[in-house]
Structure 1
Amino acid sequence: MRRIFASTIVAAGLCWAGPALADQTDMSNSVSFEDVLTQDFRAKDSIRDQYRHPAETLSFFQVKPGMTVVDFMPSGGWYTRVLVPYLGEDGIYIGLDPEVPSDATGFLATMRDTASRVPQQAAEWLGDEGAEVRGANVGSIPEEWNGTVDRVMIFREIHNMHRRDWLRPALVAARKLLKEDGMVGVVQHRAKADASAEYTDGNKGYLREQDVIALFQANGFDLVASSEVNANLKDTANYPGGVWTLPPTYAGAEEADKARLQTIGESDRMTLLFRKRP
């Protein structure tokens, strides 16, 4: 028996880019993720809630039970374990990965056979709870899915998509998948506005907000709103080793420096909402 979780919360940190979204949003009826976020299967995941703010982020993206939602590059399934139970038995969760070679190894190998892998993983984590779960790689999306998706989510992966030339195919696919009023929610490690082109080529994990907006606009999406819900003013965003210097990875950090990095926390992140342009 699948269950639908719901209660109430008010989202914070909103910065509207225009009136179009505000006209459609009744904040007094905002959806809460409290019941989902306190489930036992999220015991380890919940440690990062203080940095990822899943309830506020998904509320800002106007994700609601019963929707069809694409999660691009779901990776270890952190958001899978939020979205699948929250979308409920009337919803559909689609894990979508880029096209990777059949002989791929390492990081790339984790994105092979997404059509079978994502549903299997979700079943292992969640049993038969929540939404129908589907998976696909960008090059093998069933045609009947086109025009059926309410939201496409991209969490902290734009840098990988940019540096590996996955962004253009992904956004072409997103435009086909989305309904006419469909939207794309983006969370991405944020570089300083004056960061160099070399530092923001994707290999450090950080991108400039104005560059991300420009990339989406060039591929048929209009910015609707932005939020500072995932901002972290303590992040200097200038580490030689990139964003992975910060917790929880601490890549290249000296043991003596970890306490200082812990006080910074995870990265400063932009949170952007785009609508498919007609």
Structure 2
Amino acid sequence: MLTTRNAHTSGFSRRTVLAALPPAVVIAASLAPFAASAEAQPTDRLADLIAGPQRSPGNKARDQYRHPYEVLKFFGVRDNSVVVEVLPGSAGYWTEILAPYVKDKGLYVAAGRDPSASAGYQADHAKMLAKYAADPANYGKVQVTPFHADTYEIATPGSADFVLTFRNMHNWLERKEIDGALRAFYKALKPGGILGVADHRGRTDMSQEAQMKNGYVRQDFATDLIEKAGFKLIGTSEVKANPKDTKDYPQGVWSLPPTYREGDKDRAKYAAIGESDRFVLMFVKS
């Protein structure tokens, strides 16, 4: 389900917001009135890549929870877009789709770990680089930049159509790096560019602080924080919603798949729940 923020509460008229957006995002943010146009978009190649042999079996197994086709359609990513993904990691769930999708007409930028990261993160970054080197047909045009809050420019300022981040916000909140990260995203995006954020949705009957260690983020808290950084919320999607997620596990969100931090304990129960309940938020750089 897609919803768009009421123009009165956002401070922007619907016409003003949509006029500032790239055409694909206008379609994503106003799906019902523009349904015919959305159907005309060149999405078949995206579907082919999601089903393609360049993707690992492990990543494909996650599609039932992560819905990559629906998410990328919602954000409005085109094959000629400049897309920055923040901390894609060695598994490359989104990289395996986005990098080949934009390689001919656009650009995929992997904003990865910087030298200050821990040894475990450095090892993961090395695996990511090795993955790219092993498949130049799909990843030969990928640009890799360092990321750590706003220490670096993650892309040429004002060059990105999209900055996307998946399941990272909870870490930046805990490390008190979120304000710097949002400054880096804002700087990288074009005016009217899109920030796409997905994360584990927290409980509304608990404060953000109370559930920080469990890996969950309140959607209202995330929205307010990102808007204070200069972005405007223009759409939400419930495609990653999971009502089975009770958000009260011994190891927090990491009790659930794919992490299974409790090992074999209650594994069948957690497998039946599936991956976490997640929000998907779309913001525009005003």
Residues 98, 123 of structure 1: alpha-carbon distance in 2 compared, 3 angstrom cutoff: closer
Is the CA contact (8 Å cut-off) linking 2:146 and 2:154 kept in structure 1?
Answer: no
2:210 aligned counterpart, secondary structure: coil
* Separation in 1, partners of 2:274, 2:154: 40
Letter of the 1:269 counterpart: R
2:221 counterpart SS class: helix
**Among 168, 172, 194, which residue is 2:205 paired with?**
194
**2:280 corresponds to which of 252, 271, 275:** 271
**Partners of 2:228 and 2:122 in 1: how far apart?**
27
Deviations 1:191-221 (A, max 9, x none): 11112334332x2111100011011011111
Q: In 2, distance between residues paired with 1:166 and 1:98? A: 14
SS of residue in 2 equivalent to 1:97: strand
Instruction: Give the Cα separation in 2 of the matches to 1:190 and 1:179.
Output: 28
**Counterpart residue number, 1:7:** none
- Give per-residue Cα distances to partners, 1:148-167, cap 9 Å, x unaligned: 10000000110111112332
Instruction: Report the aligned-residue RMSD.
Output: 2.4
CA distance in 2, matches of 1:15, 1:46: 27
**Partners of 1:120 and 1:227 in 2: how far apart?**
34
State the number of aligned residues.
256
**CA offset digits 1:145-189 (Å, max 9, x no partner):** 111100000001101111123322221111111111101001100
SS at match of 2:108: strand
Q: Which residue pairs with 2:157 in the alignment?
A: 146
What runs of 5+ residues in structure 1 fail to find an aligned partner? 1-12
**Map of 1:87 onto structure 2:** 102
Q: Partner of 1:172 in structure 2?
A: 183
After alignment, is 24-33 or 257-266 more displaced?
24-33
Structure with the higher fraction of residues in helix conformation:
2
The separation in 1 between residues aligned to 2:160 and 2:273, in whole angstroms, is 37
Q: C-alpha offsets along residues 1-28 of structure 1, whole Å, 9 cap, x if unaligned?
A: xxxxxxxxxxxx2122244459921322
Matched residues in 1 for 2:263 and 2:242: separation?
20
130 and 251 in structure 1: CA distance in 2 versus 1, 3 angstrom threshold: closer
**1:62 is aligned to 2:71:** no
Partner of 2:141: 132
Q: Which residue of 2 aligns with 1:97?
A: 112
Distance in 1, matches of 2:25 and 2:191, equals 17
What is the rounded CA distance, in whole Å, between the counterparts of 1:78 and 1:27 in structure 2?
25
Moved more, 54-63 or 242-251: 242-251
Q: What are the superposed Cα offsets for residues 210-258 of structure 1, whole Å, 9 maximum, x if unpaired? A: 0110110111111110010110011111213110111122212553x22
State TM-score, norm by structure 1: 0.84
User: Which among 248, 261, 277 is matched to residue 238 of structure 1?
Assistant: 248
- Secondary structure at the aligned position of 1:234 is classed as coil
Contact 1:81–1:122 (8 Å) recurs in 2: no
Q: Is the contact between residue 69 and residue 149 of structure 1 (CA under 8 Å) also seen in structure 2?
A: yes
Structure 2 residue aligned with 1:8: none
**Unaligned ranges ≥5, structure 2:** 7-13, 19-23, 28-36
SS in structure 2 at match of 1:181 = strand
Residues 1:98 and 1:119: Cα distance change in structure 2 (over 3 Å): closer
What is the TM-score of this pair, normalised by structure 2? 0.81
Q: Percent identity?
A: 35
Q: Tell me the alpha carbon deviations over residues 13-63 of structure 1, each in whole angstroms, 9 at most, x when there is no partner.
A: 212224445992132224242110111121411000000100100110111
Give the secondary structure class of the aligned counterpart of 1:183.
strand
Give, in whole Å, the separation in 1 of the partners of 2:247 and 2:283: 24
